[in-house]
Amino acid sequence: MYKIYDVSMPIREGMPVYKNKPEKQPKIQVVQDFDTSPARESRIDLDVHTGTHVDSPLHMMPDGGTVETLSLEQLTGQCRVLDLTGVEGGITRADLETYQPQKGEFLLLKTRNSYEDAFQFEFIYLAEDGAKYLAEIGVRGVGIDALGVERSQPGHPTHKTLFQANVIIVEGLRLAEVPEGTYFMVAAPIKLLETEAAPARVLLFDGLLPA
């Protein structure tokens, strides 16, 4: 048997959004209900960076690829959850070296962010030197439990360093219930065309990988 961890944020009105900006709140409207019809239908107005989502290079690079250019092979397969709940501020190279990241790994960074229900302006993020270290190693992806992989870094060097190294970025994970370890991951962004990000359902399977 295997266990499934759904590490995606629920999408709802009033959910945590980046910097608590009202324009980033999803809006869900019932456009047809049983009082006038035999079927119920709803409409949603959704920022593509809502909740758990996958960024594509176009997010930070004018000539970068859109969501549909991302490889599903990179978004599916073995991943490793790193327990970085003791880190304050930015996750640095020194914080990551302890875990000896390997080429081709998809790393999910579990921090104290996972234990916060509201948006925190001082969220834990991946610092520029940490991003450079992972890019040099050649990891295939990085996920973090914040709505941004970086903050307060002029020029967005963490995003750009990872994108330039073809490293996929997943933001907005919920990892509080997930122990440190290795899992089989399915991270499936909505199949949007020509956008720089897409909301995703991310599932971790414990027990599917060979012992």
Q: Which residue from 149, 178, 122 is spatially nearest to 54, judged by alpha carbons?
A: 149
Per-residue pLDDT, averaged over 20-36, amounts to 95
Return the pLDDT at 209: 86
Report the alpha-carbon distance of residue 99 to residue 115 in Å, rounded.
22
Report the alpha-carbon distance of residue 131 to residue 126 in Å, rounded.
6
Return the pLDDT at 210: 78
Q: Which residue from 179, 182, 178 is spatially nearest to 211, judged by alpha carbons?
A: 182
* pLDDT tens digits, one per residue of 67-126: 999 999 999 999 999 999 999 999 999 999 999 999 999 999 999 999 999 999 999 999
Do 201 and 174 form a contact (C-beta atoms < 8 A)? no
Residue type, 66: T
Tokens 């980046």, located at residue: 18
Do 110 and 145 form a contact (C-beta atoms < 8 A)? yes
* pLDDT tens digits, one per residue of 122-160: 999 999 999 999 999 999 999 999 999 999 899 999 999
Helices 128-137 and 157-164 sit at what angle, rounded to 10 degrees?
10
**59 noted as active-site residue:** yes
* Residue 32: pLDDT band with limits 50, 70, 90: very high
Return the pLDDT at 91: 98
* Residue 1: pLDDT band with limits 50, 70, 90: confident
Report the alpha-carbon distance of residue 203 to residue 183 in Å, rounded.
9
Three-state secondary structure call for residue 181:
strand
Q: Can you give the three-state secondary structure of 65-111, one letter per residue?
A: CCHHHCCHHHHEEEEEEEECCCCCCEECHHHHHCCCCCCCCEEEEEC
Q: Judge whether residue 163 has pLDDT over 70.
A: yes
Return the pLDDT at 172: 98
Report the alpha-carbon distance of residue 67 to residue 7 in Å, rounded.
20
Do 204 and 3 form a contact (C-beta atoms < 8 A)? no
Q: Which of 53, 59, 156, 159 is catalytic?
A: 59
Three-state secondary structure call for residue 82:
strand
* Residue 211: pLDDT band with limits 50, 70, 90: low
Per-residue pLDDT, averaged over 180-204, amounts to 97
Beta-strand relationship, 197-206 and 181-189: antiparallel
Residue type, 178: V
Mean pLDDT, all residues of the chain: 96
Report the alpha-carbon distance of residue 78 to residue 106 in Å, rounded.
7
